[in-house]
Amino acid sequence: MNPDSLNGVKTPKILFFSNIVILSIFLMPIFYLVYRFLNFSTSYTSFFNSWNVLDLVGNTFLLFVFVVLSSLTVGISISIITVRFNISYPKLFFTLSVLPLVIPSYIGALTYISAFSSKGLYVQLFSNLGVTEISGIDGFFGSWLVLTLFTYPYVLLICSTALRNLDSSVEDAARSLGKNKFQIYTQVVVPRLKKPIIFSGLLVGLYVMSDFGAVSLMRYPTLTKAIYSYYELKIDGDPVIFYSSLLIVMALFISFIQRGTDLSKSSKVSGTPKISERSNLGAKSKFFVYLFLVFIIIMSLILPISVLSYWLIRGLISGNSVRAVFGGVVGSLSTSLIAALFSVIIATPIVIMVSQYRSKFGNFLERIMLALYGLPHIAVGVSILFITIKIFPSIYQSFTALIISYLIVFLPQAIATGQASMEQVKASYLDASDGLGNSKFQTFYRITLPLIYRGLIAGGALVFLSTMKELPQTLLLRPTGLNTMAVDIWSYASEGLFTQAAFSSFILLAISAIPTYILSTRNLTK
């Protein structure tokens, strides 16, 4: 019997050692950054004196705090309105409020820059009225606005799910004690959503900390922007390594806190929870509720789509060729499909080990692999870049290095969905298969795989969608001649070529929207 076993089931050696190899590869970027961090040729004091460390950390933290607070405010408000209040078309408002999740932050930044900059849509439409450039749309304000508008759906999805399952008995008791609606929601409902709020808020924070595209286009100096800037300057790699290490430490700290938030125990009650009935609103309150919902939907969905539509139509009327876009489409589809395929292959032994063969190593593997989802993409890309330069020059800026980098940050998505599907694999099924004399492989092929393949496919689809939109890793690691839609959008937007950027943006959103809708409306883990 395996001495590390927690359930008395012996872990097959091939499964154990294959996961050891996978874990070693996936931890390699962190170990390399630690090694480089401990062997700097430059003193740490000089970094703080010469490389604006405190300013960059302060800027990153400031953006983190403001975006998290504003996303929580918007997301919680919409979840309460659409779940608990008696409004017209609540499902429609909910769906429209979630859809901005499809829009990457750099596309959101592109739409606002192209709408309100000196050469933008707004200026062109109203130039006869003396309108010039709208100042202050970039920098901190622009970054905060864009990141808030395209991250609040994370809060909305998580908190609305928790709110629907919240037992309303406590609210009834508060109501019987004379509490009004405002007091009930501020003193009873929201405090009982503490864990979903913390989890979703930290998820948004990890997104903000990792963001490169929006802050780069908005010209707001953060750690991610500094990493790429120093890389482009082709100077000593120490500042790049230093900032990447610092960013990873911050992200891992937040990620472990987030993963420690057990949503399954949030406001759980015994028995069947009493579902709250929708509350009626007065005419004045309903007006402001609709005004709020419409404003958010316009800012996060209608305005970006309208601006992209304008630049697309203008480009087509002007006779701009869309042929150049197809190279990015082919590059995005090829890299995303291969990353999705390998994510399913690699996730399978991990899912089986952590779910079926419970052990100390399996528990450790599960925590580590899920924590990797919080790693900033640009920091992982930098680490892989330097590893290939120093240790594996044969794969420097190769397709292989790019795929490995994708898998390190996106594989946890495939693992999470695979674990959900493993709940259907009952121990009795496996025992019956063993009793019939089937080998471990036969049991996996005949019993386990047919039950979990939908979850694995869903995980692969999530990896596909994520890699389609990924930007900083692709910029750092892509082979010469390989373009993706994300790179094209960022490059065109940086040069003010809004019509060309709109072409790629529309194709990316169209490809992403369909599978996103399918994944959000169908439970593929069952």
pLDDT of residue 266: 52
- Tens of pLDDT, residues 455-507: 778 888 888 988 999 999 999 999 988 889 999 999 988 888 888 888 889 88
CA distance 340 to 153: 24
- Tens of pLDDT, residues 147-172: 999 999 999 988 888 887 776 777 66
- DSSP tag of 186: I
Q: Which residue type does 51 have?
A: W
DSSP 36-80: HHHT-SS-HHHHHHHS-HHHHHHHHHHHHHHHHHHHHHHHHHHHH
Q: Contact, 250 vs 209, CB < 8 A? A: yes
The structure's pTM equals 0.84
278 pLDDT higher than 50: yes
pLDDT of residue 6: 46
Q: Contact, 220 vs 142, CB < 8 A? A: yes
CATH topology of domain 23-36+101-149+228-258+298-521: MetI-like fold (1.10.3720)
CA distance 66 to 104: 19
pLDDT of residue 340: 92
CB atoms under 10 Å from CB of 75, counted, come to 27
- Every domain of the chain and the residues it spans: 23-36+101-149+228-258+298-521
Burial 25-41 (b: 16+ CB within 10 A, else e): ebebbbebbeebbeebe
Determine which helix (DSSP H) or strand (DSSP E) holds 120, and give its type and residue range. none
- Tens of pLDDT, residues 389-441: 989 999 988 999 999 999 999 988 888 777 666 666 655 555 566 666 666 65
204 pLDDT higher than 80: yes
Grouping H, G, I as helix, E, B as strand and the rest as coil, residue 227 is helix
pLDDT of residue 440: 62
Weakest mean pLDDT among 205-219, 304-318, 350-364: 350-364
Mean pLDDT of 15-19: 83
CA distance 290 to 296: 10
